[in-house]
C-alpha cells in the first residue's frame, strides 16, 4: 500500500486529511518538522503533505529543502498545505521543489484528487 505522510501542527487538519485519504493509503502523521524528516527517512512515503509554519527546529520549507537535497529522498512528492497564500510564497515553495501548493482553507477533495492522480 502506498504511503502518505501528513505533517501539520494542527490535529484537526491531520485528522481531516487522514480520514479523507485513509481508506486508500497507509497514513502516517507528524506534527513538527524534525519528526517529519525522521519519518520520511525511515518509512519512505511516496507523498508528503507538508505545512509551512510549524513550531520546533524545522519549518516546512526547511523540511522541503532537506528532502530535495537528499538523493535518496528527492523523488518524494511534496505538496505544501499552508495558510501562506501570497503568490510569492507559492513561487518560493515551487522553486525549492514543491510539487503542489494548497492554501488553507483548502478543499480536502482537491488534495485527494491530487494525491490520487500522482499515485496511480
Class of domain 3-118: alpha beta
- Per-residue model confidence (pLDDT) at position 22: 84
The pLDDT profile of the chain, 120 residues, written as one tens digit per residue, is 999 999 999 999 999 999 999 889 999 999 999 999 999 999 999 999 999 999 899 999 999 999 999 999 999 999 999 988 888 889 999 999 999 999 999 999 999 999 999 998
- The CA distance from 116 to 24, in Å, is 9
| pTM of the predicted structure, to 2 decimals | 0.95
In the numeric block, the cell 485527494 is attached to 112
Question: If DSSP codes are grouped into helix, strand and coil, which group holds residue 40?
Answer: helix
Distance, C-alpha 119 to centroid of its chain: 14
**Taking a C-beta distance cutoff of 8 angstroms, is the pair 81, 106 a contact?**
yes
- Per-residue model confidence (pLDDT) at position 120: 86
Amino acid at each position: 500500500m502506498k504511503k502518505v505522510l501528513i505533517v501539520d501542527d494542527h490535529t484537526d487538519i491531520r485528522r481531516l486529511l487522514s480520514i479523507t485519504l485513509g481508506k486508500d493509503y497507509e497514513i502516517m502523521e507528524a506534527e513538527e518538522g524534525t519528526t517529519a524528516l525522521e519519518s520520511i527517512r525511515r518509512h519512505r512515503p511516496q507523498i508528503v503533505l507538508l505545512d509551512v509554519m510549524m513550531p520546533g527546529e524545522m519549518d516546512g520549507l526547511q523540511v522541503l529543502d532537506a528532502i530535495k537535497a537528499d538523493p535518496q529522498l528527492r523523488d518524494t512528492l511534496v505538496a505544501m498545505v499552508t495558510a501562506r497564500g501570497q503568490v510569492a510564497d507559492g513561487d518560493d515553495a515551487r522553486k525549492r521543489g514543491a510539487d503542489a501548493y494548497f492554501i488553507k482553507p483548502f478543499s480536502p477533495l482537491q488534495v485527494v484528487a491530487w494525491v490520487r492522480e500522482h499515485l496511480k
